[in-house]
Amino acid sequence: DLELNDHSHAANIRKSIRLIAKVSTLITDGYRIAHGEQPLPEREDLTLAGSLFYKLRGEVPQDWQIQMMDTIFILYADHEFNASTFAARVTASTLADIYAAVTSACAALKGPLHGGANEQSMRMLDEIKTPERAEDWLKDQLAKKAKIMGFGHRVYKKGDSRVPTMREIGRDLGKRTGKENWIPICEKLEQTMEREKHLCANVDLYAAPVLTMLGFDSALNTPIFAASRVAGWCAHVVEQHDNNRLIRPLSLYTGPAPRSYAGGSKNGA
């Protein structure tokens, strides 16, 4: 990229537009090649999210599928200083280029407490199977002190504002696909967790079945998250470079108190 080291606002905007398109293409083409299929060409008549649907599924999405995909991308596009976004801004603050910053963000998705949450949520729903089993299953897991994915949030203490929209998409999809078990399972889990632990659901709980009902392999949940969140990452990098200061938080030492050194010489040799 001839603009690699140009951190001006205009150059970063141009690179952001290219990155948003390229990340989606990397995901779709990489997935198809890994499964022995040829990559599909872009469809300029579709939205970015609609094109991703087409290139992964191999079928042109209907209008309602495009609308759902667009909504999912909007819900996931940005969410202030989450782990991946903060990683991107820290990297950008060193005046590293936008590609390095987005690479840092992607690396943060490797951890299951951030990037893999919706994929693990789907495994949980697969294990529960029916709404009738949800309450007992959850109580058993809580008794075992197990980590329950799809609940709690470092920012939202009274509920994730993205959940109602994702829940409605799920209900609509359940009717359209005949897979009407998933959302009632989520709702039962939500009710039980609120009662037992006073924890609210976050968007990952409902995103998991939504993406499954749209026909995506659960292994694509995190890549689809990245395809939507890259817009937010890029926006943060642009903002950081526009008014940059090196991000260098202070640390608070919590170890042992100072100790004397019983070395054999003044220089500790």
Q: Which helix (H) or strand (E) element contains residue 12? A: helix 9-34
- CA–CA distance, 133 with 192 (Å, rounded to integer): 12
CA dihedral sign, ordered 157, 158, 161, 162:
positive
Active site residues: 153, 204
Contact 77, 229 (CB under 8 A): yes
- Centroid of chain to Cα 17: 19
For the chain, give percent helix, strand, coil, nearest 5: 60, 0, 40
| Distances in whole angstroms, Cα of residue 15 to Cα of each of 126, 134, 187, 234 | 40, 46, 41, 9
CA dihedral sign, ordered 38, 18, 116, 206:
negative
Contact 190, 125 (CB under 8 A): no
